[in-house]
Structure 1
Amino acid sequence: MDIELNIDSSVVVQVIKTGRMKGSPGMTLVRNIQRLVNLEWEVRIVHAYSESNQCADTLANTGCTLDRETIYYDDCPPRVRELLLSDVMGITTPRLIRV
């Protein structure tokens, strides 16, 4: 099974790939991620701008504000609904990047 893991932080991509990071906070999490990545599947870790999947980015940011609680949605969250509608309508969010 092939899996592509898109991460919107190039620093996090490098830390997961190399296992090297400055300081120890989060090292346990990095090791757990590496353990999962090294199971019997092919995982490709790539950097992806958050604009490439704003719905996932919005849900991830929501998760970062929680205090170890789980939220189940009966309906699509309003902000995600707005993003989905924009996507259906072909509205894009440009991002300027240095080349």
Structure 2
Amino acid sequence: MLDSSTAISIILGSSNSNHRHGNIAKQLKTLLSLDWEVNVSHVFREANHAADFLACKGHDCNFGTHSFDVCDQGLGQWLRHDVMGITQERLIINTS
């Protein structure tokens, strides 16, 4: 699993050629450089349940692009939570 802060670092970093996702990062940089306004920012998974749900679901799929004709019941629930602004607390354990 890839945390979004790590993904942002990979996408916005200057050199990605040696990273295992370097090719995808290069393609994303190309898209970001097109004539449109795009903001890239970190969002904690607790504040975007729908994206987290899809990211977890993606681990069960083969590599590539996938589309769905019907909204998964679990995804519908998280979309409603995200629209309503419902979040969950995040527990961070200090190990030092």
TM-score for the superposition, normalised by structure 2? 0.69
Whether the 8 Å CA contact 2:47–2:82 is kept in 1: the answer is no
Runs of 5+ unmatched residues, structure 2: none
Q: Which residue pairs with 1:72 in the alignment? A: 68
* Structure with bigger RCO (C-alpha 8 Å, 6+ apart): 1
| Corresponding residue of 1:61 | 56
Higher strand share: 1
Superposition CA RMSD, Å:
3.0
Q: 1:24 to 1:13 in 2, by over 3 A?
A: closer
1:83 alignment partner, SS class: helix
SS at match of 2:30: helix
* Residue segments in structure 1 that go unaligned for 5+ positions in a row: 1-7
Change (3 A) 1:85 1:29: closer
Q: 1:44 to 1:97 in 2, by over 3 A?
A: farther
For 1:58 and 1:82, locate their aligned partners in 2 and report how far apart those are by CA, in whole Å: 10
Q: Which amino acid aligns with 2:8?
A: V
Q: Give the corresponding residue for 1:93.
A: 88
Quick one: which amino acid aligns to residue 11 of structure 2? I
1:24 partner SS: coil
Corresponding residue number in structure 2 for 1:34:
29
3-state SS of the aligned residue for 2:66? coil
Q: Write the deviation string for residues 68-97 of structure 1: whole angstroms up to 9, x where unpaired.
A: 4735243x3232234356568875311135
Task: Say which is worse superposed, 53-62 or 31-40, in terms of deviation.
Answer: 53-62
Q: Distance in 1 between matches of 2:21 and 2:73?
A: 31
TM-score after normalising by structure 1? 0.67
Residues in 2 aligned to 1:39 and 1:20: alpha-carbon distance in whole angstroms? 19
